[in-house]
Amino acid sequence: MLRYVLRRLLTAIPTLFVIVTLAFFLMRVAPGGPFNQEKGLNPVIKANLERVFHLDEPLWKQFLFYLQNLLRGDFGPSYNLPDFTVGEMLYDGLKVSAQIGGYALLLALIFGTALGVVAALNQNRGSDYAVVALATAGSTIPTFVIAPLFQLFFALTLHWFPVGGWGGGAFVNKVGPVLTLMLPQLAIVARLMRGSMIESLHAHHIRTARALGLSDFAVVVKHAMRGAMLPIVSYAGPAAAALMTGSVIVETIFQIPGIGRYFVDGALNRDYTLVMGTVVLIAIFTVLFNLIVDILYAVIDPRVRYD
């Protein structure tokens, strides 16, 4: 297993290099720049700023300079917020996005798994149809519709929660974005769990377990769910990377200072280093969570071996 993990980490290096390269040059292809304003800067001031940030160098030199800093763990300064480094901004944003995304994913996995199991055990009955209907609605209604509806009903009408803002991480400020992120994930997890659980319940080893006289609890929890969890684990890896590194729509609507909002601000203001730092962070999280998924596969399913 250790050799497999090391091999995966080594193969992640060229993957990250390709992602960084594509993101770097695609950012430069887009029109405009970090110091292009509507009213325009004084040409002398603009030239000085570009010289300070090495933007007057040839593009290939800028790329090598960025790689050199990146290898040292330095994401560079923010062009539009020079008092802050990109590393500081991403650290602060990650603490917020990880909380929102982590809570949303955890609740989605718990309740989605429970609903999927209930639907599978009551196939073609009322509870099964209810879960399927809920999952279909949750997976088809986008977050940019759920978020304003939550604000309109629970914040502006009932006054239970604030419309937006982080509020220093207060519980009431987390409820809206967490529920908004959770509902689509819950729907997907419930549908995946229902399908995989139905397939697992019809497997030969489950029939053997029932024939040996095992209780329904032992058959479902100890045997059927173990095999049914594999699709959930596969989905949870990329979902965790996406949720915990910020949701652009939810963080913008609820005015949350997470990574997703930083990414939007950086793209609109052509803040190259901020956008690049966000892309690198998302890529690293994606690689790590996919590696964790592969390891969990071997833990859950004894038939999976990486030696």
C-alpha 104/C-alpha 101 separation (Å) is 5
Q: Is residue 239 part of a domain?
A: yes
CATH code for the domain of 219: 1.10.3720.10
C-alpha 266/C-alpha 128 separation (Å) is 45
pLDDT for 104 equals 92
Q: Is residue 110 part of a domain?
A: yes
Q: Is residue 63 part of a domain?
A: no
The per-residue pLDDT for range 203-262, each reduced to its tens digit, is 777 777 777 777 777 777 777 777 788 888 888 888 888 887 767 888 888 888 888 888
Q: How many domains does the chain have?
A: 1
| Sequential DSSP letters for the chain | -HHHHHHHHHHHHHHHHHHHHHHHHHHHHSSS-TT--SS---HHHHHHHHHHTTTTS-HHHHHHHHHHHHHTT---B-SS-TTSBHHHHHHHHHHHHHHHHHHHHHHHHHHHHHHHHHHHHTTTSHHHHHHHHHHHHHHHS-HHHHHHHHIIIIIIIS-SS-SS--GGG-HHHHHHHHHHHHHHHHHHHHHHHHHHHHHHHTSHHHHHHHHTT--HHIIIIIIIHHHHHHHHHHHHHHHHHHHHT--HHHHHHTT--SHHHHHHHHHHTT-HHHHHHHHHHHHHHHHHHHHHHHHHHHHH-TT----
Q: Is residue 186 part of a domain?
A: yes
pLDDT for 166 equals 84
pLDDT for 37 equals 58
Parts of the chain with a pLDDT under 50: none
C-alpha 288/C-alpha 163 separation (Å) is 34
Q: Is residue 76 part of a domain?
A: no
Q: Is residue 276 part of a domain?
A: yes
User: Domain range spanning residue 282?
Assistant: 92-300
Q: Is residue 42 part of a domain?
A: no
| N-to-C CA span, the chain | 6
pLDDT for 281 equals 87
The closest alpha carbon to 112, from 206, 182, 34, 9, belongs to: 182
pLDDT for 110 equals 92
pLDDT for 103 equals 92
pLDDT for 49 equals 64
Q: Is residue 73 part of a domain?
A: no
